[in-house]
Structures are given as structure tokens and as C-alpha cells.
């Protein structure tokens, strides 16, 4: 027979998990909304374009994730508080003096790492709560972490940086693996994982760690040159 004290403890732990889940959602939303807004301003979009690109960056990955792991896409409309937070963050970014935005750009990788870590953990938690296999947890973490950035770059007419820049998606998948395997599950664990992912992302930026790649461009140019 379970005592009321045990039930109270479990309730407190559940509340802590819900709270940390909400914190990660807010952190990721602000970081990615501002990122999208700044990219829109760099491309000289009007204020509507700033809001559209910011919202797509902040929520696009979550929409794709929901489609793949079987969560209702309409859950997006229940996140009214996150929409408000995103709108406020983008409005502030739009109104800031240009020199402040340029200063922020110097720290963009750090804030982007915060969004990546927060959303990757959020996506992994969603998938584990639905008792999906580890493969689905990895995909959910990756898509939530990088999906919005990919959509943002495509809409801005850029090559998605997450697929050609320093190691990026791997860190989101690592967060998914850690949560899917149950290595990190308490609130303190998740905060520690959050710091780990940010640190790894920043190390990959500093040391320019890259995944193996193969380019055919030079060979195609050489072949066309020799043919002519």
C-alpha cells in the first residue's frame, strides 16, 4: 500500500518536471524567435516578414516533430503564452538600435546553442512521454532542435547552415539519446544535460569541428573545363 507521503513526493517530482519542461520551451522560443527576426532584418524583410520568419523558426521544428511522432499539430494553438513571448521578443529585437543587434550577432552562436539544447531536450521529453522507441526520440530531438532553423534559412533563400556548418544536429541527437536511454531524467539531470549540449555546441563553433563531407563541385568544374 502506498502512503500519502509517497504520493506527495511523486506529485512534487512531476510538478518539477512540468516546470523544467516549460522553462526549456520558453528559453528555446525566445532564442529561436530572435534568431529568425535577425535573419529577416538582415535580408531586409518588412515587419511582417520579421514576425513570420521568427515564428517559423521558433515553432516550425515542433510542428514537424508532432507530425512524425503522432502528436496533434493543433497543440500548437494551445501554446498561446509562448506565442506572446515570441511576439514580445521579436518586437524588442525589431526596435533595438542596429548597433545592439550587431553586438548580439557576435553572441549569436551562444544563443543559438541555448535554443538548440532547450528544444532538443523538449522534443526528446515529448517522445519519451509517448513511450516511443529510441529511434523516434532521436528524430524528435533533432527535428525540434534544428527544424525551425532549416525552414528559416530556406525561406530566407539561404543554404541551411545546420547541414553545412559546424557540428550541429549531432548534439541534438546526443540529447535525445541521453534522455531516451534514461541517463538523464530528473530536473537536475536535465539542467546538467542542457549545459553539456550548450558547451559541446560552443566547442564545435570555437574549434570548427565538422562532420566528414565530400564535394563534387570542383570535379564537375574540372570536367566541364577539360571538355571545353
The string of pLDDT tens digits covering residues 153-200 is: 888 888 887 776 667 788 889 999 999 888 887 778 888 898 999 899
Question: Percent of the chain at pLDDT above 70?
Answer: 80
Which pLDDT value is given to residue 10?
A: 45
48-52, 96-100, 142-146, 215-219: which has the minimum mean pLDDT?
215-219
What mean pLDDT is reported for the chain?
79
Distance, CA of 89 to CA of 222 (rounded, Å): 48
> Nearest 5°: CA angle at 56, between 55 and 62?
105
pLDDT higher than 60, residue 13: no
Band of residue 217 on the pLDDT scale cut at 50, 70, 90: low
pLDDT higher than 60, residue 82: yes
Q: Of the segments 46-55, 56-65, 197-206, which one has the largest average pLDDT value?
A: 46-55
1-5, 173-177, 206-210, 214-218: which has the minimum mean pLDDT?
1-5
45-49, 99-103, 169-173: which has the minimum mean pLDDT?
99-103
Distance, CA of 1 to CA of 92 (rounded, Å): 54
Average of per-residue pLDDT across 124-134:
86
Q: Of the segments 22-26, 51-55, 129-133, 222-226, which one has the largest average pLDDT value?
A: 51-55
Q: Give this prediction's pTM.
A: 0.76
Which pLDDT value is given to residue 161?
A: 72
Band of residue 27 on the pLDDT scale cut at 50, 70, 90: confident
Amino acid at each position: 500500500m502506498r502512503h500519502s507521503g509517497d504520493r506527495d513526493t511523486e506529485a512534487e517530482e512531476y510538478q518539477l518536471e512540468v516546470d523544467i519542461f516549460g522553462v526549456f520551451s520558453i528559453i528555446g522560443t525566445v532564442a529561436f524567435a530572435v534568431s529568425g527576426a535577425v535573419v529577416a532584418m538582415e535580408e531586409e524583410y518588412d515587419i511582417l516578414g520579421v514576425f513570420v520568419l521568427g515564428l517559423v523558426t521558433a515553432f516550425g521544428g515542433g510542428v514537424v516533430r508532432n507530425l512524425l511522432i503522432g502528436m496533434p499539430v493543433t497543440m500548437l494553438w494551445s501554446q498561446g503564452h509562448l506565442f506572446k513571448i515570441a511576439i514580445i521578443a521579436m518586437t524588442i529585437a525589431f526596435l533595438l538600435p542596429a548597433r545592439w543587434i550587431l553586438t548580439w550577432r557576435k553572441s549569436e552562436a551562444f544563443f543559438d546553442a541555448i535554443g538548440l539544447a532547450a528544444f532538443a531536450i523538449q522534443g526528446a521529453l515529448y517522445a519519451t512521454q509517448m513511450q516511443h522507441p529510441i529511434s523516434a526520440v532521436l528524430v524528435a530531438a533533432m527535428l525540434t532542435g534544428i527544424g525551425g532553423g532549416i525552414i528559416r534559412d530556406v525561406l530566407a533563400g539561404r543554404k541551411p547552415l545546420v547541414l553545412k556548418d559546424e557540428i550541429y544536429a549531432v548534439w541534438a541527437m546526443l540529447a535525445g539519446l541521453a534522455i531516451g536511454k534514461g541517463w538523464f531524467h530528473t530536473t537536475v539531470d536535465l539542467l546538467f544535460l542542457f549545459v553539456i549540449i550548450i558547451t559541446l555546441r560552443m566547442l564545435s563553433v570555437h574549434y570548427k569541428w565538422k562532420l566528414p563531407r565530400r564535394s563534387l563541385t570542383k570535379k564537375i568544374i574540372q570536367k566541364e573545363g577539360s571538355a571545353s
